Amino acid sequence: MPRPATAPPTEAPARAPRARRQRVQAAATGVAVLKGLSRLGGRASLTRLAAHLGESPAKVHRYLISLLEAGLVAQDAVSQHYYLGAETIQLGIAAMRQADPLRAAEPSLARLREQLEVTCFVAVMGNKGPTIVRFEEPALPVTLNVRVGSVLSLLWSATGRVFLAMTHDGRVEALARAELEAASAEQRRGLDPRDPIGTLRTQVRAAGVATVRDTYLPGVSAVAAPLIDYTGQVRAVLTALGATGGFDPSPQGPIARTVREEAEAVSRSLGYRPQEDAATAP
């Protein structure tokens, strides 16, 4: 006589979701281990890495073994320290190839135009000075004589002041000094007579943005912030500008705060991590 069919165990359906959750958790821990190594400068002992992650050394070691097998982590035979492996390097190279500041800044340009209803652009440092390469205008634009391809002043535009303050390039300073020599007495009036370039640098670095009011274009104010890549270098500058009467260019004002936040978001997408750089500095 055939046996009656038996129903499957009631707990079986619950096992699949549980297994998936375990795999997701394992993947998350593996990623955390890789991020931990990265934030510790790319190399660390098991003890230091475990302390950084807030996990037991035994647990971290299990994940390191799997990452070693995958080539994502390697181990120094002498010091026994773990470091990022060849496969991780390949991932980093692929990511760096896509770190295009102009493409990364496009969503920020659109948001600034819509939120602030002001003209926005991105500029890079060209042979003759800061050069506009992306340009967005609101529905009611301010009449300006700058467009894509326009070269801006290093001393009197907000964009130029960011490049001057936050790049370490002798060519940039040479261009700024040439501007200063050719400047009129009226233009010089807004600069520190003792150390005009040094003072501008100090002010911009302290604020994290550069601001101008009627210094480059009459009736126009602007705020600019740097777009910084994974090497810590300024790759471009994000700028918002508008008619002075309705535009607050103060470094702590809402426009400066919004521009700074958008620039920081773009910089993060380019791999810049200022706090981590400071934490891993010798």
- CATH assignment of the domain containing 82: 1.10.10.10
Do 180 and 79 belong together in one domain? no
Phi, psi of 63 (to 5 degrees): -70, -35
> What is the distance between the alpha carbons of residues 21 and 24, in angstroms, rounded to a whole number?
5
C-alpha closest to that of 237 among 100, 101, 112:
101
> What is the distance between the alpha carbons of residues 83 and 67, in angstroms, rounded to a whole number?
11
Do 85 and 110 belong together in one domain? no
Q: What are the start-end ranges of the H helices in 167-235?
A: 170-182, 185-188, 196-207
Do 122 and 261 belong together in one domain? yes
pLDDT of residue 29: 84
Any bridge partners for residue 124, and if so which?
131
C-alpha closest to that of 239 among 263, 273, 208:
263
> What is the distance between the alpha carbons of residues 197 and 205, in angstroms, rounded to a whole number?
12
Report the amino acid identity of residue 26: A
pLDDT of residue 244: 85
* The domain boundary residue, chosen from 49, 64, 97: 97
Q: How far is CA 88 from CA 30, 95, 236, in A?
A: 13, 11, 27
pLDDT in tens, the chain (282 residues): 555 555 555 555 555 676 677 666 778 888 898 888 888 888 999 999 999 999 999 999 998 998 888 888 899 888 999 988 888 877 777 766 666 788 889 999 999 988 888 889 999 999 889 999 998 888 766 666 778 889 999 999 999 999 999 998 889 999 999 999 988 888 888 888 899 999 999 999 999 999 999 888 888 899 999 999 988 999 999 999 988 888 889 999 999 999 999 999 999 988 888 765 444 443
* The domain boundary residue, chosen from 53, 79, 97: 97
Domain that holds residue 22: 15-97
> What is the distance between the alpha carbons of residues 125 and 112, in angstroms, rounded to a whole number?
22
Report the amino acid identity of residue 212: V
Do 89 and 118 belong together in one domain? no
- Collect all residues with Cβ–Cβ distance below 8 Å to 59 and sequence separation of at least 6: 29, 50
> What is the distance between the alpha carbons of residues 163 and 125, in angstroms, rounded to a whole number?
7
Do 125 and 193 belong together in one domain? yes
- Collect all residues with Cβ–Cβ distance below 8 Å to 248 and sequence separation of at least 6: 221, 254, 255, 256
Specify the number of domains making up the chain: 2
In a domain, 196, yes or no: yes
